[in-house]
Amino acid sequence: MGELKKNVLTKPISTNYSKILNRKKQNISILCTSLASGGAEKVISLLLKELKNDFNVSLVLFYEDVHFPIPEEVKVIFLNNKKSNRSKFLKLLDPVVFTHRYHKLIKKENISISVSFLAFPNLVNGVIAMLNKKRTTIISERGFPSDNTSSRTSFYISKLFYPILYNRCDKLFSNSEHINSDLKENFGVKIPMEVIYNPIEIPKKTIIPETLNTETPVLKLITAGTLNKRKNQIMVIRAIENTNRNYQFTILGSGNLKEYLNEEIASKKLEKNIVLKGRVKNVNEHLLNNECFVLSSFTEGFPNALLEAMAMGLPSVSTNCLSGPLELLNNNETVNIKNGEFYIAKYGLLVNNDDHIGLSKALEYFRLNPLERQKYSALSLERAKEYHLDTIYSKFKKFITNY
């Protein structure tokens, strides 16, 4: 990605033909907090690859924090040149400042479609919908609202402002049917909603399923995600402790629970079985060198890490948390899992939230059945194709242009 210039379009190859084409395209803005290393941010980065071909795109970010690549044809605008990790006191006026600046921006750029991702930008977009009724405003909820708030205060703020500002927008899309249901039932959101799952680019190099059909004394497991309470990596550690320990478990990611997890690993004498790799850039290379992916989250919006592991050809075990795993692994068909047990779903294995006994049995099932590892590796590869960027973008484009 070339050097980003604030409020300045990174110019594509200048030709009269491209200028004519740009004049015919609609002007669209994508609004988000930043483009830091998160699930929603990665989705935006992928969609931009296709959006630039059909629209004149302005990517508008609250904070100057960019991790993912941005196509040169996209105009990048920062509403603030400061990082997002400032104190809460310094950020008190941000909502007012960002709303004012974004309001001026969409008028200046003649934006006809404003699309926002994540709760804070969605609320700003709701205000924009009140001030600019001629423009189309579309919002995207990316997490399960009832379980995705950082405090009771933010929960009550959501209960108050979602019905007021979300309902001012034209329509909403999320990445899970359960998210939409939660918005309707618990937050009073009544605008048209649709589910558009996260896109993925299929890796060039993937696991060959037949290579997993071999007897192995030690099964190599892997997970990826922020080290925090919601991701619940301690569940996997306890599951391994509950087995005969014939596992090598790699944890990718960083977070505030790193020290706690290291202490738990040491206290259970599992240093030879479990390693915390920290944040890595070459995630696919790590996935490629393992035999099973584990997702232990209490809650998800849509589990990118699980989908990316499946796209690599890894058989997977996941908690049946809201939301995403049931949709990915069992076509959203409801299952009843007994405590201490696991469920053999269509595309992977499911266990109850925080049930390390059930998880230990699921891991043993894959360790002792190499033919099942091969079977679910092949199924993972097939399932991931349904989320290819081309397919998802086609649905996204139709959704934002049909109004």
- Over residues 135-175, the pLDDT tens digits come to 999 999 998 888 755 566 777 788 899 999 999 999 999 99
Query: So what CATH class is 8-199+388-401?
Result: alpha beta
- Under DSSP, the state recorded for 279 is S
User: What is the pLDDT, as a whole number, of residue 87?
Assistant: 64
User: What is the pLDDT, as a whole number, of residue 185?
Assistant: 95
Averaged pLDDT for residues 252-266: 96
- For residue 123, give Cα distances in angstroms to 28, 108, 137, 217, 310: 18, 21, 11, 53, 34
Q: Select from 184, 54, 28, 29 the least CA-distant residue to 121.
A: 29
pLDDT-based confidence at residue 104 (cuts at 50, 70, 90) = very high
- Contacts of residue 234, defined as CB under 8 A and 6 or more positions apart, other chains included, come to 257, 260, 261, 264
Averaged pLDDT for residues 368-396: 97
User: What is the pLDDT, as a whole number, of residue 92?
Assistant: 73
Averaged pLDDT for residues 252-274: 96
Instruction: Check whether 21 has a pLDDT greater than 70.
Output: no
User: What is the pLDDT, as a whole number, of residue 42?
Assistant: 93
Note every long-range contact of 40-43, with CB atoms under 8 Å and residues 24 or more positions apart, other chains counting: 40/117, 40/118, 40/140, 40/142, 40/301, 41/67, 41/68, 42/68, 42/198, 42/304, 43/117, 43/142, 43/175, 43/198, 43/199, 43/304
- Contacts of residue 64, defined as CB under 8 A and 6 or more positions apart, other chains included, come to 6, 34, 78, 80, 81, 82, 83
User: What is the pLDDT, as a whole number, of residue 133?
Assistant: 80
User: What is the pLDDT, as a whole number, of residue 24?
Assistant: 82
Tell me how far apart the alpha carbons of residues 333 and 66 are, in angstroms, rounded to a whole number. 37
Averaged pLDDT for residues 340-350: 98
Query: What average pLDDT does the structure give for the chain?
Result: 91
User: What is the pLDDT, as a whole number, of residue 143?
Assistant: 87
User: What is the pLDDT, as a whole number, of residue 83?
Assistant: 62
Q: Which two tokens stand for residue 235?
A: 């569940």
Tell me how far apart the alpha carbons of residues 221 and 247 are, in angstroms, rounded to a whole number. 7
CATH number of the domain at 209-385, out of 1.10.10.10, 3.40.30.10, 3.40.50.2000, 3.40.50.720? 3.40.50.2000
Averaged pLDDT for residues 115-121: 95
Q: φ, ψ for residue 345 (rounded to 5)?
A: -90, 180
Instruction: Check whether 381 has a pLDDT greater than 60.
Output: yes
Tell me how far apart the alpha carbons of residues 5 and 368 are, in angstroms, rounded to a whole number. 55
Q: Select from 34, 99, 46 the least CA-distant residue to 70.
A: 46
Whether the link from the prior residue into 114 is cis, omega within 30° of 0, is no
Instruction: Check whether 276 has a pLDDT greater than 80.
Output: yes
Q: What is the pLDDT of residues 128-144, one digit of tens each?
A: 999 978 899 999 999 88
- Under DSSP, the state recorded for 317 is E
Query: Amino acid letter at 337?
Result: I
Instruction: Check whether 250 has a pLDDT greater than 70.
Output: yes
Q: What's the distance, CA 180 to chain centroid?
A: 16
**H helix count then E strand count, the chain:** 14, 15
Q: What is the pLDDT of residues 169-221, one digit of tens each?
A: 999 999 999 999 999 999 999 999 999 999 999 999 999 999 999 998 899 99
- Segments of the chain assigned to CATH 3.40.50.2000: 8-199+388-401, 209-385
Q: What is the pLDDT of residues 37-64, one digit of tens each?
A: 888 999 999 999 999 999 999 999 999 9
Instruction: Check whether 20 has a pLDDT greater than 60.
Output: no
- For residue 382, give Cα distances in angstroms to 43, 209, 223, 288, 295: 21, 11, 21, 17, 19
Averaged pLDDT for residues 326-351: 97
pLDDT-based confidence at residue 1 (cuts at 50, 70, 90) = very low
Tell me how far apart the alpha carbons of residues 129 and 122 are, in angstroms, rounded to a whole number. 10
Dump the DSSP string for 190-218: -S-EEE-PPPBPPPSS---GGGG-S--SS
Q: What is the pLDDT of residues 79-103, one digit of tens each?
A: 987 666 666 666 678 889 999 999 9
